[in-house]
Structure 1
Amino acid sequence: MRQPVTTARAATPSAPGSVGDVRKANLVRVLSVIAAATEDQRLSRADIAQLSQLTKASVSSLVADLLAAGLVIEIGVHRDGERGRPSVGLILNPTRCVMGMEINVDYIAAGLVDLNGKLLAHEILPRTNHGSTASEVLTALGELSQTLQEAARSQGLMILGGGLAVPGLVQEDHFTVLQAPNLGWVEQNLDVAALLPEPKTRFRLFNEANASALAQQQLMDGQERDFLFISGEVGIGGGLIIDAELFIGPQGHAGELGHVVIEPDGKKCSCGGRGCLETIAGQEAILATAGLGDGTDSASRQERISQLYQALQSGTEVAVNAVAEAGKSLGIAVTSALRLYNVSTVVFGGHFAALEQWLRPAMESSLQDHAPSIADQARLLRSPLGQTGALVGAARSVVGDLLEAPYQLVD
């Protein structure tokens, strides 16, 4: 979601830089003004000069670079008044995009996101990834990526970069999944070149919950700068936004809410610990408690999830109680998170969003029991992102990188 255009302040470097550095900074300034324009605005070079506080000559030169790089295009002709010379509007190039991808336990997905953050195309492929090697999963995802690449070419779209979200701890610099218990992966190096050969800018690796939190941030009110995003699938992840920035901690692993201990003597968790939130409120845990199998029978998880929703809608007691128990434990975890992170807004995604009407009463009751002093200020929201959140967040982050460093594409 683009924000209204505001006047950019002229930069005051703390130390003198080279002419090239100044030009790079001004290139970013001009592109940021164009990117911030609302959909019904067509900024002229004169408009951009005024908003960026750069000279018209500088803006014309910088815009020429952005046009040559294919990041912006000229569109339409408008008059500022009844008289005067017609001016050409400038917008982000709608034919440039980034590919977002996701690996989850039950599916792989890929999508194309344009420079405005809009999802242009989305493909999801059911696949049992637990027990498969990273190489096998990336081969399948590479084939899905190829399908999207061909679709992009047929529509005249150019893919500039890509992002991949996975449900586990990652080391982005080395494209390594350090630990993804629900995939059964430990220290897996990912050959991302097989997913998107020769990206024009960069390829990035994300934790799934962090990527979803970044996507959710685009939907929040401008005043909502702090929130915790909780992603519920087979596992449970958390993405923390503080002062409108993703907080990942010194080692990049902050927000692992699914492995907060709720029952010290509880069940063994896939992480190797015991009594984690995931063992009570994770997708598999809810299904098992609802009497819908433990994952070892012939029915797929999606079939069992459908059975769960049918049971909930018909008021089947064992299913209702299973979700209520998950809501109670989730409320305990949320209570701890609100106190620890000093935020008041929590956004629920994944199966937590789908189960909201059955989860919320127990969750709110738990929050009231354990933290009455903050319960009334807590805002519990449902994310509308569904299964697109992680890949959209990953792609938008790469778009953001590009808009902050457009000189990567300028000769």
Structure 2
Amino acid sequence: MRQAASTARAATSSAPGNVGDVRKANLARVLSVIAASGNDQRLSRADIAGLSQLTKASVSSLVADLLAAGLVIEIGVHRDGERGRPAVGLILNPARVVMGMEVNVDYIAAGLVDLSGKLLAHEIQPHADHRSAAKEVLAALGELSRRLQDAAAAQGLMILGGGLAVPGLVDDESFTVLQAPNLGWVEQDLDVAALLPEPKTRFRLFNEANASALAQQQLMDAQERDFLFVSGEVGIGGGLIIDAELFVGPQGHAGELGHVVIAPDGKKCSCGGRGCLETIAGQDAILAAANLGAVADGASRQQRISQLYQALETGTEPAVSAVAEAGKSLGIAVASALRLYNVSTVVFGGHFAALEQWLRPAMEASLKAHAPSIAGQARLLCSPLGQTGALVGAARSVVGDLLEAPHQLVG
């Protein structure tokens, strides 16, 4: 995905390979060694020199810059079996954070993630974003962001940058939502300055499913370098990880499982097509099939979802059949995806993870029926991230950018 433009973006050198470039690379090298060690190991400068294969003098100078920028801090370390004055260890500064945010169809969310990728705090707020003007939605998200900014300041935390995830195709260079059918947004420019004024580094815009896939990647085993993340909300999104990198394709459409056609003569989809997976397995589609789609009684979507789970727990029709049909269609889409992308692992998030016990039997049977040669090798997992996946993934990506280019904060 293209990187976002930012007023805080560092200028690139006009002379590649010069001393300044080497120092920038070495700053990132030292910071990556500290980050990889975790806050429990607390490496000394000598440790860092050995691991980075830089001289002790170079490491001392680079560490001084990182300390001055506030990216790392010193902490006393008593090594086992040693007496006397403790050695000085270095860890990522726990008081430096990035804010992740999400706009979805019926809620907005924001959270703070530290430089180790840990979610420190988050808040999810119901908000009817469908067909709402982007300006109105961002105003509400801006208020939520300010509450978290105030809370961060009260705890002595400094916010270095931010990321926003939305359920649609985006151009993160221009902060434009190109198309978000379930929000009703087309070619919608976003005023991200209203969300996080003057970030110290940068602000980035993400597709919601892609951001969730990036968050999920940190939970996968090291050898698990290829997988498809399928996000189930009102819409259905997909994020494709190939060789441990997010793959979005030339126009950013790769992994969009929700708009794979399952029933050519089926219902019309929000994307303008017909018979997409989303029309059968999306949240609203399942509620409608379970006779819980009407809102005449004033029930909110969340209340209707609760009614769906109650019906499933008691084995009540048509809820059971609605979810089984969603699972069957999901199995067809997954069968196609496994063949097309040549991956064997699919991770399900959102309502697919919550509905696993009722959804999985029909999905596995469908996958076996439509792709018997590969069904036995498929790994179908459910994500534990819940509704935090997108905002965490957006924030961690900005953290990753920072760790790769710490010179942005070094004076």
Kindly report which structure 2 residues correspond to 1:104-253, keeping only aligned pairs within 5 A, or say none: 104-253=104-253
User: Quick check: 1:311 aligned with 2:311?
Assistant: yes
Partner in structure 2 of residue 256 of structure 1: 256
User: Quick check: 1:384 aligned with 2:375?
Assistant: no
Query: Which secondary structure state, in structure 2, belongs to the residue aligned with residue 121 of structure 1?
Result: strand
The question of whether the paired residues in 1 share the 8 Å contact of 2:206 and 2:394 is answered with yes
- The superposition leaves residues 318-347 of structure 1 with CA deviations (integer Å, 9 ceiling, x where unpaired) of 100000000000000000000000000000
Of residues 391-400 and 86-95 in structure 1, the stretch that sits farther from structure 2 once superposed is: 86-95
Q: CA deviation at 1:78?
A: 2.6
Calculate the TM-score normalised by the size of structure 1: 0.95
Q: Given the superposition, is the C-alpha separation of residues 80 and 311 from structure 1 closer, same or farther in structure 2, using an over 3 Å criterion?
A: closer
Q: CA deviation at 1:299?
A: 1.7
Q: CA deviation at 1:98?
A: 0.1
Structure 2 residue identity aligned to 1:261: V
- The superposition leaves residues 141-192 of structure 1 with CA deviations (integer Å, 9 ceiling, x where unpaired) of 0000000000000000000000000001111100000111111111100000
Q: CA deviation at 1:61?
A: 0.1
The question of whether the paired residues in 1 share the 8 Å contact of 2:229 and 2:240 is answered with yes
Of residues 287-296 and 236-245 in structure 1, the stretch that sits farther from structure 2 once superposed is: 287-296
Partner in structure 2 of residue 94 of structure 1: 94
Q: Equivalents in 1 of 2:255, 2:367: separation in Å? A: 19
Q: Equivalents in 1 of 2:81, 2:61: separation in Å? A: 26
Partner in structure 1 of residue 10 of structure 2: none
Q: Equivalents in 1 of 2:240, 2:291: separation in Å? A: 33
Q: Of the two structures, which has the highest relative contact order with CA contacts closer than 8 Å and spacing of 6 or more?
A: 2
Query: Which secondary structure state, in structure 2, belongs to the residue aligned with residue 337 of structure 1?
Result: helix
Percent identity of the aligned residues? 87
Structure 2 residue identity aligned to 1:223: Q
Q: Equivalents in 1 of 2:16, 2:188: separation in Å? A: 43
Q: Given the superposition, is the C-alpha separation of residues 16 and 232 from structure 1 closer, same or farther in structure 2, using an over 3 Å criterion?
A: closer
Q: Equivalents in 1 of 2:50, 2:84: separation in Å? A: 18
Q: Equivalents in 1 of 2:85, 2:340: separation in Å? A: 59
- The superposition leaves residues 272-323 of structure 1 with CA deviations (integer Å, 9 ceiling, x where unpaired) of 0000000000000000001112456622111110100000000002100000
User: Quick check: 1:342 aligned with 2:342?
Assistant: yes
Partner in structure 2 of residue 3 of structure 1: none
Q: Equivalents in 2 of 1:390, 1:79: separation in Å? A: 39
Q: Equivalents in 1 of 2:135, 2:16: separation in Å? A: 48
Partner in structure 2 of residue 320 of structure 1: 320
Partner in structure 2 of residue 279 of structure 1: 279
Q: CA deviation at 1:42?
A: 1.0
Structure 2 residue identity aligned to 1:131: R
* Residue-pair matches, total: 397
Q: Equivalents in 2 of 1:186, 1:296: separation in Å? A: 29
Structure 2 residue identity aligned to 1:329: S
Q: CA deviation at 1:254?
A: 1.2
Partner in structure 2 of residue 6 of structure 1: none
Partner in structure 2 of residue 11 of structure 1: none
Q: CA deviation at 1:134?
A: 0.1
The question of whether the paired residues in 1 share the 8 Å contact of 2:38 and 2:91 is answered with no
Structure 2 residue identity aligned to 1:353: A
Query: Which secondary structure state, in structure 2, belongs to the residue aligned with residue 24 of structure 1?
Result: helix
Q: CA deviation at 1:38?
A: 3.1
The question of whether the paired residues in 2 share the 8 Å contact of 1:269 and 1:275 is answered with yes
Q: Equivalents in 1 of 2:167, 2:358: separation in Å? A: 25
Kindly report which structure 2 residues correspond to 1:40-55, keeping only aligned pairs within 5 A, or say none: 40-55=40-55
Q: Equivalents in 2 of 1:369, 1:293: separation in Å? A: 30
Structure 1 residue identity aligned to 2:340: L
Query: Which secondary structure state, in structure 2, belongs to the residue aligned with residue 346 of structure 1?
Result: strand
Q: CA deviation at 1:81?
A: 5.3
The question of whether the paired residues in 1 share the 8 Å contact of 2:38 and 2:116 is answered with no
The question of whether the paired residues in 2 share the 8 Å contact of 1:79 and 1:85 is answered with no
Partner in structure 1 of residue 12 of structure 2: none
Partner in structure 2 of residue 395 of structure 1: 395
Q: Equivalents in 2 of 1:16, 1:194: separation in Å? A: 36
Q: Equivalents in 2 of 1:320, 1:181: separation in Å? A: 28
Where structure 2 has 5 or more consecutive residues not aligned to the other structure, the ranges are 1-14
Q: Equivalents in 2 of 1:30, 1:113: separation in Å? A: 21
After the TM superposition, which segments of 4 or more aligned residues of structure 1 sit over 6 Å from their partners? Answer: none
Q: Equivalents in 2 of 1:317, 1:107: separation in Å? A: 29
Kindly report which structure 2 residues correspond to 1:14-25, keeping only aligned pairs within 5 A, or say none: 17-25=17-25
Query: Which secondary structure state, in structure 2, belongs to the residue aligned with residue 317 of structure 1?
Result: coil
The question of whether the paired residues in 2 share the 8 Å contact of 1:240 and 1:247 is answered with yes
User: Quick check: 1:367 aligned with 2:346?
Assistant: no
Structure 2 residue identity aligned to 1:128: A
The question of whether the paired residues in 1 share the 8 Å contact of 2:209 and 2:231 is answered with yes
